[in-house]
């Protein structure tokens, strides 16, 4: 089906060749997973196999032999960057138009592919913008199915989805795969291990280091896979969390007290909280379904949207939003939106300069932060040039200063690999130990059960449950 | 985020977008070469009536759309009226000099902008972008390459607006959403523009790759999901426009509101 011999490829401007003499072949009907650290070139290889390189993206490459399939379907990572039409039916029709399918047959074909991916909509003419991430990805699969491909290429199709969407997308993909050849690049591999039969493992240099049946690769290369920060099934069991995690902190005085807080979006009430307090040394996990109002809750705490109700900061009524900005830090989901300067070290110094500290003091603090967050080598770079994990670390380091007592985070581990996730969680735990409070929106049950001391459940714009989490190790110890 | 405003579909929505464009565009030019304010006033009344009766939008919304254009009407006519040149002085106070000629010229200019606004609104509110580009591909033989690029770009706009709000919040939290002085303001524009642009450029590139991956090339003959043809409504629109234009001239001649026939 696919046969590549001695592929050489180099991105213009890059120092090193990405691939030197990579050869592989994939048989018809095989389900293959390409696994390796980020930046090793898996996605590039996938694009070569799909013909996207060099047809759509012009990259100089050479291969002794290159047999690639004609009918391919490619599902991309970003749900917002693979559609060109505003409505569901129009998007699938776009594919059918490309194929020259007669108009009379389109309606039926559109309905058929939507049914295959189980995208149940009131009618086919629904704005794509109103769909959730998981639904968008299933629409992407539907439009790819309209091409009737022999090979499906999946480039981290669930990297930007929550747990629920991830599950739904993989279930759909397993159903529609049939006897088609499937080649996957993915970091979160819990859901696909029973689906893929063969794994090709790469190292940082783009060299193939192993190629074989799933079980064999996993038993032989377990420690290598763990080192690369890949989310493999037992990653949490292998992980040893800090000893302090979930241990109570003293003194746990009240920082923020919120009374009948209501947050609005365009006159519509989106979140209601009756009466809650946030205490020093707490790690509160905010959970709930997509669109329940978790992010809105955090935004209300910062008064970033219109709110009603009273907030008390350490017993005093908040009259000026400045009090909130001074004491509460907010880390957004997309780190790029928070960067305000052109250099990593300036970024770290920005908040300190606003506090009018002496340059000497600022310089020392920046040095400390660079070391603490492993960014010293990148200090001269533009924040946008950093990797995913580095951007996340920088956004946390730059948002938080000493005077902040509460840290709000909107899904900070989203799209991060296992290594970066654990590093961030450990830093947050150390931060909590300084008597700070953490309020974090998350979809990851493991984080809740391993790190949080409290859990808030949001349902339909209401805080419906506020429960203390008892660490499991304590229970097992037999109190 | 909701973008469309609730409305009914009328026969104006059923007209062919290319035909509508071909009928409206010449009107913009014609309007510039009409110098009789009476004609312009009649046309404004006629086309406003057409717009109000058949746009399918609620009166409340239509009036709201007109608010900005009303201000433009006032400001363009006033600047002409107050500071124009002319022989017959009505009023003089310092720099202000109102003459009969400048008054009529001002009013004329005001109605001209109002007419532009009506045609623009009428086109924008009764034409779906998707249909416009499908029609341009089918009737005007626009290359699909351009049509679909525009459609993809339209999809990006609401996403950009949402991102703008997020960037604004993110900067506010870091106390970076305000700046003093000219250089500060310049810096501020950069702070908003760079994340928004970099996101959009990357997204646009990804969409382009995705479109090609879905078989979008120039090589094959395309079929169309929406078939746009010419119909009786296009004839209606043509007739209605001709009638309003002709009636405007006739009424201006028979029952003039202002005594001037040429404002030049």
- A300, burial (CB in 10 Å: exposed 0-12, middle 13-18, buried 19+): buried
Dist. CA A408–CA A296, nearest whole Å: 12
Q: Is A256 in the same domain as A216?
A: no
What pLDDT digit, counting tens, does each position of A373-398 carry? 888 888 998 898 888 788 888 999 99
Average pLDDT, chain A: 89
Chain B residues within 8 A of A98 when measuring between CB atoms: 214-217, 220, 222
Dist. CA A134–CA A336, nearest whole Å: 23
Chain A residues within 8 A of B157 when measuring between CB atoms: none
- Please indicate whether, in this complex, the C-beta atoms of A325 and B173 are within 8 angstroms of each other: yes
From the CA of B182, how many Å to the nearest CA of chain A? Answer: 17
CB atoms within 10 A of CB A124: 16
- CA neighbor of A191 nearest in space, from A213, A208, A166: A166
- Please indicate whether, in this complex, the C-beta atoms of A332 and B191 are within 8 angstroms of each other: no
Dist. CA A454–CA A459, nearest whole Å: 17
Nearest CB partner across the interface for A84, out of B151, B172, B225: B151
Percent of chain A surpassing pLDDT 90: 50
Quick one: three-class SS letters along B76-141? HHHHHHHHCCCCCEEEEECCEEEEHHHHHHHHHHHHHHHHHHHHHHHHHHCCCHHHHHHHHHHHCC
The CATH code of the domain that includes A277 is 3.40.50.300
What pLDDT digit, counting tens, does each position of B131-150 carry? 999 999 999 999 999 999 99
Among A179-188, B95-104, B224-233, name the one with the lowest average pLDDT: B95-104
Q: Is A368 in the same domain as A410?
A: yes
* A19-26 and A2-9 beta bridge pairing: antiparallel
Q: What pLDDT sits at residue A188?
A: 81
Chain B residues within 8 A of A338 when measuring between CB atoms: 170-171, 173-174
Number of structural domains in chain A: 2
Distance from CA of residue A383 to its chain's centroid? 18
**Which tops the pLDDT comparison, A457 or A418?**
A457
Ramachandran assignment for B224, one of left (phi > 0), alpha (psi -120 to 50 degrees), beta (any other): beta
- Do the domain assignments include residue A418? yes
Kindly state the tokens that stand for A431.
């931060």
Distance from CA of residue A337 to its chain's centroid? 15
Percent of chain A surpassing pLDDT 70: 98
Q: Is the pLDDT of residue A401 over 60?
A: yes
- Do the domain assignments include residue A389? yes
- Do the domain assignments include residue A154? yes
- Do the domain assignments include residue A168? yes
From the CA of A215, how many Å to the nearest CA of chain B? Answer: 33
Structure letter (DSSP) for residue B57: B
- Please indicate whether, in this complex, the C-beta atoms of A97 and B221 are within 8 angstroms of each other: no
- Do the domain assignments include residue A115? yes
What does each C-alpha distance from A253 to A250, A279, B110 come to in angstroms? 8, 5, 66
* Domain end position, chosen among A212, A238, A264: A238
Q: What pLDDT sits at residue B227?
A: 92
Dist. CA A206–CA A202, nearest whole Å: 6
From the CA of B65, how many Å to the nearest CA of chain A? Answer: 19
B152-159, long-range: CB within 8 Å, 24+ apart, which pairs? Answer: B152/A84, B152/A85, B152/B204, B152/B207, B152/B208, B152/B211, B153/B204, B154/A86, B154/B129, B155/A83, B155/A84, B155/A85, B155/A86, B155/A128, B156/B200, B156/B203, B156/B204, B156/B207, B158/A129, B158/B1, B158/B3, B159/A80, B159/A129, B159/B203
- Please indicate whether, in this complex, the C-beta atoms of B215 and A55 are within 8 angstroms of each other: no
Kindly state the tokens that stand for A364.
């020392």
The span from the first CA to the last CA of chain B, in angstroms, equals 48
Which runs of consecutive H residues, i.e. helices, occur in A382-452? 388-399, 418-432, 445-451
Q: Identify the residue among A47, A151, A337, A412 best suited for mutation to test binding to B, counting B beta carbons within 10 A and taking the highest.
A: A337
Q: What pLDDT sits at residue B5?
A: 76
**Mean pLDDT (whole number) for B209-214:** 93
* A406-410 and A328-331 beta bridge pairing: parallel
* Domain end position, chosen among A203, A238, A273: A238
Nearest CA in chain A to B199: A336
- Please indicate whether, in this complex, the C-beta atoms of A84 and B170 are within 8 angstroms of each other: no
- Do the domain assignments include residue A479? no
What does each C-alpha distance from A130 to A80, A86, B2 come to in angstroms? 12, 10, 9
Q: Is the pLDDT of residue B193 over 80?
A: yes
Cis (ω within 30 of 0) for the bond into A251?
A: yes
Chain B residues within 8 A of A87 when measuring between CB atoms: 130
Q: Is the pLDDT of residue A113 over 80?
A: yes
How many helices (H) and strands (E) chain B has is answered by 9, 2
Chain A residues within 8 A of B169 when measuring between CB atoms: 299, 302, 304, 332
Structure letter (DSSP) for residue A438: E
Q: Is A382 in the same domain as A431?
A: yes
Q: Is A60 in the same domain as A176?
A: yes
* A283-288 and A268-279 beta bridge pairing: unpaired
Chain B residues within 8 A of A57 when measuring between CB atoms: 209
Q: Is the pLDDT of residue B220 over 80?
A: no
Q: Is the pLDDT of residue A183 over 80?
A: yes
Nearest CB partner across the interface for B170, out of A56, A78, A338: A338
Q: Is A368 in the same domain as A256?
A: yes
Dist. CA A428–CA A436, nearest whole Å: 9
* Domain end position, chosen among A238, A268, A295: A238
* A283-288 and A454-459 beta bridge pairing: parallel
Q: Is the pLDDT of residue A65 over 70?
A: yes
Q: Is A339 in the same domain as A399?
A: yes
- Please indicate whether, in this complex, the C-beta atoms of A89 and B195 are within 8 angstroms of each other: no
What does each C-alpha distance from B40 to B23, B105, B113, B114, B259 come to in angstroms? 17, 12, 10, 10, 14
- CA neighbor of A172 nearest in space, from A142, A127, A132, A128: A142
From the CA of B34, how many Å to the nearest CA of chain A? Answer: 40
Q: What pLDDT sits at residue A472?
A: 62
Dist. CA A339–CA A397, nearest whole Å: 11
Quick one: three-class SS letters along A228-273? CCCECCCHHHHCCCCCCCCCCCCCCCEEEEEEEEEEEECCEEEEEE
From the CA of B171, how many Å to the nearest CA of chain A? Answer: 6
Nearest CB partner across the interface for A83, out of B155, B163, B216: B155
Chain A residues within 8 A of B220 when measuring between CB atoms: 98-100
What pLDDT digit, counting tens, does each position of B56-91 carry? 899 998 999 889 999 999 998 988 888 877 788 888
Chain B residues within 8 A of A72 when measuring between CB atoms: 213
**Cα angle B152, A100, A126; round to 5:** 45
CB B21 within 8 A of CB B73: no
How many helices (H) and strands (E) chain A has is answered by 17, 20
**Mean pLDDT (whole number) for B20-37:** 93
Dist. CA B158–CA A80, nearest whole Å: 11
**Cα angle B7, B13, B19; round to 5:** 155
Q: What pLDDT sits at residue A87?
A: 93
Q: What pLDDT sits at residue A210?
A: 92
**Mean pLDDT (whole number) for B220-238:** 91
From the CA of B14, how many Å to the nearest CA of chain A? Answer: 18
| Cα four-point dihedral sign B2, B7, B9, B15 | negative
Q: What pLDDT sits at residue A120?
A: 87
Q: What are phi and psi of B49, to 5 degrees?
A: -60, -45
Q: Is A266 in the same domain as A359?
A: yes
**pTM attached to this predicted model:** 0.84
Q: Is A459 in the same domain as A422?
A: yes
- Quickly tell me which residue has 């959009």 as its tokens: B200
Nearest CB partner across the interface for B225, out of A83, A103, A334: A103
Q: Is A381 in the same domain as A432?
A: yes
Element (H, E) at A300: helix A294-301
* A61-62 and A2-9 beta bridge pairing: antiparallel
Nearest CB partner across the interface for B222, out of A100, A336, A354: A100
Q: What pLDDT sits at residue A331?
A: 92
- Please indicate whether, in this complex, the C-beta atoms of B224 and A97 are within 8 angstroms of each other: yes
- Do the domain assignments include residue A324? yes
CB B24 within 8 A of CB B47: no
**DSSP letters of A377-399?**
GGTTS-GGGS-HHHHHHHHHHHH
- Please indicate whether, in this complex, the C-beta atoms of A100 and B227 are within 8 angstroms of each other: no
Q: What pLDDT sits at residue B4?
A: 67
- CA neighbor of A264 nearest in space, from A319, A308, A301: A308
Q: What pLDDT sits at residue A476?
A: 46
What does each C-alpha distance from A4 to A61, A69, A263 come to in angstroms? 12, 11, 56
Q: Is A119 in the same domain as A63?
A: yes
Percent of chain B surpassing pLDDT 90: 59
Q: Is the pLDDT of residue B2 over 80?
A: no
What pLDDT digit, counting tens, does each position of A188-243 carry? 888 898 899 999 999 888 889 999 999 999 889 988 888 887 888 788 888 888 88
Chain B residues within 8 A of A43 when measuring between CB atoms: none
What pLDDT digit, counting tens, does each position of B96-136 carry? 888 888 888 899 999 999 999 999 999 999 999 999 999 99
SS3 state of residue A407: strand
Q: Is A356 in the same domain as A249?
A: yes
Chain A residues within 8 A of B180 when measuring between CB atoms: none
- Please indicate whether, in this complex, the C-beta atoms of B166 and A102 are within 8 angstroms of each other: no
- Do the domain assignments include residue A478? no
Q: Is A321 in the same domain as A199?
A: no
What pLDDT digit, counting tens, does each position of A403-423 carry? 899 999 998 888 788 888 898
What pLDDT digit, counting tens, does each position of A257-289 carry? 999 999 998 888 899 999 999 999 999 999 988
CB A462 within 8 A of CB A475: no
Dist. CA A326–CA A404, nearest whole Å: 6
SS3 state of residue A197: coil
Nearest CA in chain B to A349: B174
Q: Which domain holds residue A233?
A: 2-238
**Cα angle A59, A65, A70; round to 5:** 75
* A151-155 and A181-185 beta bridge pairing: parallel
């Amino acid at each position: 089906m696919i046969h590549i011999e001695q592929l050489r490829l180099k991105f213009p401007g890059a120092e090193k060749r990405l691939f030197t003499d990579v050869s592989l072949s994939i048989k018809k009907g095989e389900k293959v997973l390409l696994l390796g650290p980020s930046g090793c070139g898996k996605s590039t290889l996938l694009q070569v196999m799909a013909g996207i390189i060099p047809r759509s993206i012009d990259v100089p490459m050479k291969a002794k032999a290159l047999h690639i399939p004609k009918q391919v379907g490619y599902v991309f990572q970003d749900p917002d960057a693979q559609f060109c039409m505003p409505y569901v039916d129009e998007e699938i029709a776009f594919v059918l138009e490309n194929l020259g399918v007669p108009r009379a047959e389109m309606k039926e074909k559109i309905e058929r592919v939507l049914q295959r991916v189980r995208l149940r909509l009131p009618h086919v003419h629904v704005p794509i913008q109103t769909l959730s991430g998981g639904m968008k990805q299933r629409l992407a699969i539907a439009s790819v199915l309209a091409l009737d491909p022999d090979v499906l290429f999946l480039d981290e199709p669930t990297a930007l989805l929550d747990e629920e969407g991830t599950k739904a997308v993989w279930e759909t993909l397993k159903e529609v795969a049939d006897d088609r050849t499937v080649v996957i690049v993915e970091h979160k591999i819990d859901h696909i291990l029973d689906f893929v039969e063969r794994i090709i493992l790469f190292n940082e240099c783009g060299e193939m280091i192993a190629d074989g049946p799933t079980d064999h690769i996993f038993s032989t290369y377990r420690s290598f896979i763990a080192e690369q920060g890949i989310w493999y099934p037992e990653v949490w069991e292998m992980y040893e969390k800090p000893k302090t995690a979930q241990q109570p902190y003293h003194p746990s005085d009240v920082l923020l007290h919120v009374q009948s807080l209501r947050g609005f979006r365009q006159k519509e009430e989106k979140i209601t909280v009756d009466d809650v307090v946030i205490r020093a040394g707490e790690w509160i996990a905010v959970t709930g379904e997509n669109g329940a109002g978790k992010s809105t809750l955090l935004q209300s705490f910062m008064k970033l949207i219109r709110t009603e109700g009273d907030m008390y900061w350490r017993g005093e009524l908040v009259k000026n939003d400045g009090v909130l900005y001074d004491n509460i830090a907010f880390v957004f989901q997309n780190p790029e939106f928070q960067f305000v300067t052109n250099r990593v070290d300036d970024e770290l110094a920005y908040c300190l300069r606003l506090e009018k500290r002496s340059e000497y003091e600022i310089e020392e603090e920046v040095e400390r932060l660079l070391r603490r967050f492993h960014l010293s080598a990148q200090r001269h770079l533009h924040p946008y040039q950093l990797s995913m994990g580095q951007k996340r670390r920088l956004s946390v380091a730059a948002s938080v200063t000493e005077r902040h007592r509460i840290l709000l985070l909107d899904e900070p581990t989203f799209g991060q690999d296992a290594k970066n996730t654990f590093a961030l969680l450990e830093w947050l735990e150390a931060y909590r130990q300084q008597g700070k409070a953490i309020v974090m929106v998350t979809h990851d049950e493991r984080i809740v059960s391993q790190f949080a001391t409290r859990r808030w459940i949001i349902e339909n714009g209401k805080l419906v449950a506020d429960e203390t989490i008892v660490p499991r190790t304590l229970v097992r110890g037999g109190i | 985020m909701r973008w469309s405003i609730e409305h009914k579909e009328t026969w104006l929505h059923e007209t062919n977008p290319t035909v509508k464009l071909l009928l409206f565009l010449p009107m913009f030019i014609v309007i510039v070469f009409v110098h009789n304010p009476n004609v312009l006033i009649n046309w404004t009344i006629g086309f406003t009536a057409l717009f109000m009766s058949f746009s399918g939008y609620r009166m409340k919304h239509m009036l709201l759309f007109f608010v900005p254009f009303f201000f433009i009407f006032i400001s363009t006519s006033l600047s002409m009226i107050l500071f124009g040149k002319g022989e017959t002085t009505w009023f003089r106070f310092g720099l202000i000099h109102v003459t009969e000629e400048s008054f009529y010229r001002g009013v004329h200019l005001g109605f001209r902008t109002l007419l532009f606004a009506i045609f623009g609104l009428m086109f924008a509110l009764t034409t779906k972008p998707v249909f416009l580009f499908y029609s341009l591909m089918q009737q005007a033989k626009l290359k699909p390459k351009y049509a679909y690029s525009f459609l993809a770009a339209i999809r990006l706009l609401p996403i950009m607006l949402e991102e703008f709000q997020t960037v604004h919040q993110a900067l506010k939290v870091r106390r970076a959403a305000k700046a003093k002085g000219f250089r500060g303001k310049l810096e501020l524009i950069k702070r908003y523009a760079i994340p928004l642009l970099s996101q959009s450029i990357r997204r646009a590139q990804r969409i382009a790759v995705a479109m090609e991956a879905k078989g979008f090339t120039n090589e094959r003959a395309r079929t169309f999901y929406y078939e746009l043809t010419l119909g009786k409504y296009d004839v209606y629109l043509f007739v209605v426009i001709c009638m309003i234009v002709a009636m405007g001239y006739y009424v201006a001649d028979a029952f003039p509101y202002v005594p001037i026939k040429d404002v030049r």
